[in-house]
Structure 1
Amino acid sequence: MPVTSVVKDSEALSLTVHAEFPVKVSRLWDAYLDARQLEKFWGPVEYPATFTRHDATPGGRSNYHMTSPEGEEFHGYWIWNEVVEHKFFEVSDGFAHADGTPNPDLPLNRMVFSFDPTPEGSKLTITAVFDSAEDLEQVVAMGMIDG
């Protein structure tokens, strides 16, 4: 993903990623809603993602894992809260156990993916909002800014 900036806001308990793409919003939107396309760019390059479920509709669920270079799997999930086609979608984003059940020992956050047209293509803004400063700092320490 061609990231242009990552902003950590400790007061707002948020982490915001800005990325720009040389494609229309509709093309970028389609890539996020198609699990096979999303796997090509979700997470760090060294930790490829595999989506085993991707129900991109309010009330839907996505299950995925990222695999480390050593073969270790790190599981996560999204619960889809709201979807406005070609504009934004909101998910509850959490860590999971290997069986897909939520891991309550790790932070949960709310992520909003906003899609905006630009003269060169489109801009994606992903804002993750956490319940506490501790939760934000924990995911930063786990590498969320680099990923």
Structure 2
Amino acid sequence: MKKSVLFDFIVDKENNKINVERSFDAPVDLVWAAWTEADILDRWWAPKPYQAVTKSLNFAEGGQWHYYMLSPEGEKHWCVFDYEVIRPLKFYGGSDAFCDENAVVNDSKPRVKWENGFTANDNQTVVNIQLQFETLEDLHAIIEMGFKEGFTAGLENLDQYIAAQFYLRQQNKPNNQPRVTTYVNFPGNTEEAFLFYKSVFKTEFSGKGIQRFGDIPAEAGHPAVAENIKKMVLHVELPLLGGHVLMGTDAPKEMGFTLTKGNNMHICLEPATREEAKRLFDELSNGGTITMPLQDMFFGAYFGEFSDKFGINWMINFQNTKQ
């Protein structure tokens, strides 16, 4: 049985601090990735219905994360995080401030010092967060902006994303047999599309059929999936011809996805070894555009994405099911 989620939020007015302690049902390396890689941060950092959008991220001492919060009305609220100290998989610290699109800090708004510590605790990771403000007035201003509610909602976004990814990995591809699939994303009509393809190819869905976001098991401490997302498709696989499999998912904007024609379809290669995954990635991406470097992802895969020099989108995904 998994532990319940730990969450403490303490306001220390005497020292102008906020202390947050939060646990996640994932190992340290995967939680660390979720806090330090732009593609994952963009999926959970902003409270719904806002979206976080990274302009640039250089996770290194002296580096910077420049991003904005996008409102449903299209307003952009720019922020910049300057990384000062990094101890891989254990700690990073720096300062966060409001700014403009050129990363010029807005001195009229509060600036915050962050210290984030990561500690393994059985099958969980505990993140200890300390926010230091220059003045009590700055602390009050952040609280009045709704920081506690917004940050809590963001952490719940991350819980949902972790739960969805691990659930998928447990349910699909039980071995390391190599295969090639096509992976497609839809803004909310995956079921309609796959029922159409099913009627054309006269085949049946593989595995457990259509899996929905609402099928993710509810666990103590995890936030419930939003009602308007529950019926959307989390994962579906359909054999086409000659053993080729079409895989798909809904990518709702409520979970931070932005789809455009051209970026919603990938050829997905699942090689048998990590070494072969790297070889395929390096050679196929040569001369192309890498959209996600090949790396160990927090959902347990060695994964990367790119467009090759001919404009074709690829995913490389190695999942070591023997561990």
TM-score band, normalised by the shorter chain? over 0.9
Partner deviation per Cα, 1:74-93 (whole Å, 9 max, x = no partner)? 11001110000011100111
User: Residue 43 of structure 1: CA displacement?
Assistant: 2.7
- Structure-1 residue corresponding to 2:128: 125
Identity of aligned residues (%): 26
Q: Could you say if the C-alpha distance between residues 92 and 100 of structure 1 is closer, same or farther in structure 2, counting changes exceeding 3 Å?
A: same
- Structure-1 residue corresponding to 2:312: none
Matches within 5 A, 1:53-68: 53-68=56-71
1:81 equivalent in alignment to 2:84:
yes
Tell me how far apart the structure 1 counterparts of residues 6 and 74 of structure 2 sit (CA, whole Å): 26
Q: Could you say if the C-alpha distance between residues 124 and 83 of structure 1 is closer, same or farther in structure 2, counting changes exceeding 3 Å?
A: same
Tell me how far apart the structure 2 counterparts of residues 95 and 3 of structure 1 sit (CA, whole Å): 29
Out of 132, 138, 148, the residue aligned to residue 145 of structure 1 is 148
Moved beyond 2 Å, runs of 4+:
none
Q: Residue 15 of structure 2 aligns to a residue in which SS?
A: coil
Q: Quick check: 39-48 or 87-96, which moved more? A: 39-48
Partner deviation per Cα, 1:64-114 (whole Å, 9 max, x = no partner)? 101122221111001110000011100111011233211111011110111
Out of 94, 101, 104, the residue aligned to residue 98 of structure 1 is 101
TM-score (norm 2): 0.44
Tell me how far apart the structure 2 counterparts of residues 12 and 43 of structure 1 sit (CA, whole Å): 27
Greater RCO (CA < 8 Å, at least 6 residues apart): 1
User: Residue 121 of structure 1: CA displacement?
Assistant: 1.3
TM-score (norm 1): 0.93
- Structure-2 residue corresponding to 1:28: 31
Partner deviation per Cα, 1:18-69 (whole Å, 9 max, x = no partner)? 2211110011111222100111111312221111111111100110101122
Q: Is the Cα contact below 8 Å between 1:116 and 1:122 reproduced in 2?
A: yes
1:10 equivalent in alignment to 2:23:
no
The structure having more radius of gyration, on CA atoms, is: 2
Tell me how far apart the structure 1 counterparts of residues 10 and 71 of structure 2 sit (CA, whole Å): 25
Q: Where is the helix percentage greater, Structure 1 or Structure 2?
A: 2
Tell me how far apart the structure 1 counterparts of residues 6 and 76 of structure 2 sit (CA, whole Å): 24
Unaligned stretches of 5+ in structure 2?
A: 151-323
Q: Residue 44 of structure 1 aligns to a residue in which SS?
A: coil
Tell me how far apart the structure 2 counterparts of residues 3 and 105 of structure 1 sit (CA, whole Å): 35
Give aligned pairs, total: 146
* One-letter identity of the residue aligned with 1:56: F
Q: Is the Cα contact below 8 Å between 1:3 and 1:17 reproduced in 2?
A: no
Pairwise CA RMSD of aligned residues? 1.4
